[in-house]
Structures are given as structure tokens and as C-alpha cells.
Amino acid sequence: MTPMEHRKCRTLHLADAGQVESAALFLRQQFGIQVLALPHLSRLILVYDLPQLTLAQLLPALESAGITLAASWWQRAHCRLISYSEEVQLDNMGCKVCDTKSREVFCHIYQQHPHGDHDDTPEELRLER
């Protein structure tokens, strides 16, 4: 994986346009990341490197600072998908990810489930068709 694949550029939609500048300042000071504030769009554009920082780490920090993200189902799903994909990418890179077992449990259950075209017909009868 090249170093450029580790660099992430994410857009966050905030609920209040008045919080955009303070959120950008908070992220710059607390995490030292590049942030572009777009108050007229109620958005932040973040640039960070994956092994050092993830979106899953940034979101709770913003929430604890009193900065609220847009609450639409689309935005929440988008953030969850990004967090999951970064977790998988970190796992593939061999980095230690949080100790949740949810993916391992899902994989185990998935492997136990019968897949594909399951045919109970004995092998010798299948050949005669």
C-alpha cells in the first residue's frame, strides 16, 4: 500500500454553520490535521493520515467538544461506512484495531451458513442428469 493510500480526505457536514470555524480550529489544535472550513456550506474538509488517526477517533472528540454533525440518516450511514472501511484498511495493514469482535463473529457465523447452489442430490444421481 502506497503512502498516498494512507492519506484520507473526508467531508463532514455540521448541523450548525456557526460551529464550522470553531470545529476547524479545534481539530487543528487537538489533532494537528489539515482542515478547510466552509461555513457557507456547513462543511469541514479534513485531511489526515490513516495509521495515526481515524474518523472513528475524530467523531467522538467533536461530539465531546459540543460540535454537532448533521443528523440525517445519509450522513450517519456515510460516517459509519467510512469508519468501517478505515478499520478494515488498518486491519489489512496489520495495525492493531479496537478489540471489538463483531467482524470475527460475523465471519464465523457466515462460514457456518450453507452457501451457493446447495443440492442434496447424491453425486452419482447428479451425473446421470
**pLDDT tens-place string over residues 5-52:** 789 999 999 999 999 999 999 999 999 999 999 999 999 999 999 888
Looking at this protein, which amino acid is placed at residue 127? L
pTM: predicted TM-score of the whole model, two decimal places: 0.66
Tens digits of residue pLDDT in 55-77:
999 999 999 999 999 988 999 99
- Of 89, 87, 83, which Cα lies nearest the Cα of 97? 87
The pLDDT value recorded for residue 56 is 92
Q: Please report the sign of the dihedral spanned by the C-alpha atoms of residue 77, residue 79, residue 85, residue 91.
A: negative
- When the candidates are 3.40.50.2300, 3.30.450.40, 3.30.70.100, 3.40.50.1980, the CATH number that belongs to 3-114 is 3.30.70.100
Report the alpha-carbon distance of residue 69 to residue 129 in Å, rounded.
Answer: 60
